[in-house]
Structure 1
Amino acid sequence: MHRLLSAIVLVCAACAFDVGPEPGTPGDQDAGFRPDAGALDAAADSGEPDAAVEPDGGLVAEDAGEDAGLGPDAGPDAGEPDAGSADAGEVCDRRPSPTEWLPCRGDGFVPDSPEEDWQHTTTSLFVVTQGSPRHRGIDTIVNPGQEQLLIGKFAYGVADKDLKDEKVEVWIEVACRSWARVGVDYTSDDGEHGTVEGVEDDGGRVFFAIPEDRRLPVGSYRVKMLVKGDHSEANFWLHVWEPGMRVVVSDIDGTITTRETDGVWTAFDPSSPTAREGANDTFRIYAAKGYRVLFLTARPDFTTEGTRGWFDANRFPVGSFHLSQRTIGEHGADAQAYKTAYLQSLVEDRGVIVEWAYGNKETDLDTYLAVGVEPGHIQLVAGEYTGDLKGSTMIDGYVPESERVACLPPVEQ
């Protein structure tokens, strides 16, 4: 009930909220892996394989580069820069990256065993009866050799009723439509694990560290945590990146959507926000150019699945999402501190390079400057901020911005 009340508080806090959107996993765009992702030994808990591998389990994906207006036919001469839409005197390089990450189409997951009885009668009487599952996970970014800690949250209904002390299987998609079970865990009680990696254990959590001898090599992997009582799922990503990965970071509400308060209404209707014209094309082009895309928002984590679903429905590229773990999200100075701390951890501990960054408020601008983004690579959407640009750029919309991005040289990573 306290989360239901918190959702109501969100409406009251709308004017002060600095939040952003995320239902489920990316739909038809699928789970993803890099061709160098490697594979786990599929026999985790016994001598039998855990995941069935389809004969055609290779990489299958749409040509996102051509769909975004890039590719051999995009310019006058294939592979050669052209004047295109660039400013006078500048070259326009419309080639996509040869190392563009193409997520797989469809995950093909089928549980290898039937549903099991709940551990507790109270679960079936008082938890799952609250409503639909609202399970979610935190997208994880690590370097090779670092701990691969997967964090899931399990709850039901609009009240976000925690699922406690129930069995969860942890699965990894090690190649397209090929899954391996890496372990089993049980959802937590309040405070059972304290605070782990900055995430407070508020109950219904799984903190699962992939055993050292089964850690994944460089690549991007879909994670699925499967509740054995009803086979509901939490779906998210594990990214194992070498240091030096170049990313584009964007705020969501008021930056990608048209209103600063859209994160509030997402708590009630995930489909309600309106995307700014051309925003999806802009970030799809960045992805086709070889950048990884990170959506950083102060929205509370119970909106995770709604946010993911909205981005998928609006044809954004598959990206990594990071939401606040506080019940009512973050706002004001707290939002800036939260975003800055997260980006600093990526820059300092994972070697991530924030190449371009998008926002709409002074808190976004100051966050990006604090983590070392070049001022000229910070793009602020016009309408919210009227102060000192501090060397950043004010953009009038994403239609002209997508043309600028289409002329950037591709990156290989």
Structure 2
Amino acid sequence: MRVPSLTQTTLAAALTLAASSSFAMSDPKAVDDISGDDIDIVLDGVVNCTDFDAGQNPAAFQFPAKQSFDHFSSRITARSTPYHMGHDRVTKAGEAVTVTGKFDYGAILHKDLEDEKVRAYLSGTGKDGWDYLGEFTTNSDGKIFVPVDGQQEGQYVLRMVVMGDLTYADAYITAIEPGKKAVVFDIDETLTKSDLEQILDYTGIEAAEARPAAGQLVQEYLDRGYHPVFITARSYWYAKDSRRWLRDTLNLPDFTLRTTLANEQGLFETAQYKTEVMNEMKAAGLEFFRAYGNADTDAEAFNNAGIPLSQTYIIGDKAGINGTQPITTEGYEQHISDVVLSTPHSGCN
């Protein structure tokens, strides 16, 4: 898979690019933004590009010695398939953050693992091994909350290991300098062909079918120094399979993925949930440059988060809703050619 180079466009090169005719987008609806916001992106060349390599290739992990579950009922629960998840976070470099881990078993019942021990470890940028962060006990919702001290700019893996069976969940923490530019993507019917695909993928009937060039779309932004953020209304128990799908089907490394932590968020509060996630990341200094979705709730959330309509692209039946930019093709080949290839580098170096 392609990953962004650690040596990116320098400020001088970015200024040269800004002066060239190739800097302008071919999408006439986005020309006004290029003369304003996107020039600011190039001038913000002091921001470092995130070291994603450390998160993708952490140190070899040595599991702790397995212990017995504290409760007999947990042993019964753990006979089913685990659907653990870690709640990815974006935080300011040097600023502490608390990460949620959720532990449950069973594809249908999703029985929470209650009152059991979980140990947490951290690896990533600047670390040769795994730092032990402590032992935590799951609550009645099968959750733990792991405080992580402030880290230098980079990407980190938080590994949370269930001591009763050594199953685990990973969460990705991206520590950024303020001004890091991002592109946000919905998943279902945006990167996949339809909402039905998630059910087929989850049940194992077949892998969800991606829209043509969906993986290339994300990779093109990676190559230009943007941080990809995936925000989906899928429930938390889709997290493991969603990450696997992004990696195996779209051939992408593991980046920031956020699913809901409560079913009602995905069913009834989608726009509010997505808005809150993006605002949380904005508070950490992440700046959303562009957005991709397929639904009116996506358009609403992107607008709530301050992403310009000229940089909001909606594909599918709702293409162009509420003044957004329509993508009327089934896939992204033409859009990449018309818009993405002429998108300037984010300005990180």
Asked if Structure 1 and Structure 2 have the same fold, meaning a TM-score greater than 0.5 normalized by the shorter chain, the answer is yes
The corresponding residue for 2:275 is: 340
Residue correspondences, number:
319
Q: Secondary structure at the match of 2:270?
A: helix
The corresponding residue for 1:352 is: 286
The corresponding residue for 2:112 is: 162
Shift of 1:108: 4.2
- Given residue 312 of structure 1, which amino acid in structure 2 is its aligned partner? R
The corresponding residue for 1:4 is: none
Q: CA RMSD in A?
A: 3.2
Q: Secondary structure at the match of 1:149?
A: strand
Is the 1:294–1:321 Cα contact (8 Å) retained in structure 2?
yes
CA distance in structure 1 between the partners assigned to 2:212 and 2:258 by the alignment: 23
Q: Which among 122, 127, 149 is matched to residue 172 of structure 1?
A: 122
Is the 2:94–2:151 Cα contact (8 Å) retained in structure 1?
no
CA distance in structure 2 between the partners assigned to 1:353 and 1:232 by the alignment: 35
- Given residue 83 of structure 2, which amino acid in structure 1 is its aligned partner? R
Shift of 1:247: 0.6
Pair 1:134 & 2:68 matched: no
TM-score (norm 1): 0.69
Q: Which among 245, 250, 259 is matched to residue 194 of structure 2?
A: 259
The corresponding residue for 1:322 is: 258
Consecutive unaligned residues in structure 1, runs of 5 or more? 1-28, 30-61, 72-78, 92-96, 191-202
**Do the aligned partners of residues 100 and 81 (structure 1) sit closer, same or farther apart at CA in structure 2, a change above 3 Å counting?**
farther
Is the 1:222–1:237 Cα contact (8 Å) retained in structure 2?
yes
- Given residue 117 of structure 1, which amino acid in structure 2 is its aligned partner? S
CA distance in structure 2 between the partners assigned to 1:254 and 1:65 by the alignment: 30
- Given residue 143 of structure 2, which amino acid in structure 1 is its aligned partner? R
CA distance in structure 1 between the partners assigned to 2:332 and 2:69 by the alignment: 49
The corresponding residue for 1:121 is: 72
Pair 1:305 & 2:240 matched: yes
Shift of 1:345: 2.6
Is the 1:255–1:359 Cα contact (8 Å) retained in structure 2?
yes
Cα deviation digits, residues 298-322 of structure 1 (max 9, x gap): 1111110010000100213432111
Cα deviation digits, residues 28-51 of structure 1 (max 9, x gap): x7xxxxxxxxxxxxxxxxxxxxxx
Cα deviation digits, residues 145-177 of structure 1 (max 9, x gap): 543101101112222121122211110113466
CA distance in structure 1 between the partners assigned to 2:23 and 2:153 by the alignment: 36
Pair 1:111 & 2:62 matched: yes
The corresponding residue for 2:309 is: 375
Is the 2:100–2:146 Cα contact (8 Å) retained in structure 1?
yes
Is the 1:355–1:373 Cα contact (8 Å) retained in structure 2?
yes
1:209-228 equivalent positions in 2, closer than 5 A: 209-210=147-148, 214-228=149-163
**Do the aligned partners of residues 331 and 123 (structure 1) sit closer, same or farther apart at CA in structure 2, a change above 3 Å counting?**
closer
Q: Secondary structure at the match of 1:178?
A: coil
TM-score (norm 2): 0.80
Shift of 1:346: 2.4
Is the 1:171–1:223 Cα contact (8 Å) retained in structure 2?
yes
CA distance in structure 2 between the partners assigned to 1:273 and 1:178 by the alignment: 35
The corresponding residue for 1:207 is: 145
**Do the aligned partners of residues 83 and 239 (structure 1) sit closer, same or farther apart at CA in structure 2, a change above 3 Å counting?**
closer
1:9-24 equivalent positions in 2, closer than 5 A: none
User: Comparing both structures, which one devotes a greater share of its residues to helix?
Assistant: 2
Q: Which among 390, 395, 398 is matched to residue 332 of structure 2?
A: 398
Q: Which among 272, 276, 285 is matched to residue 220 of structure 2?
A: 285
Shift of 1:215: 3.0
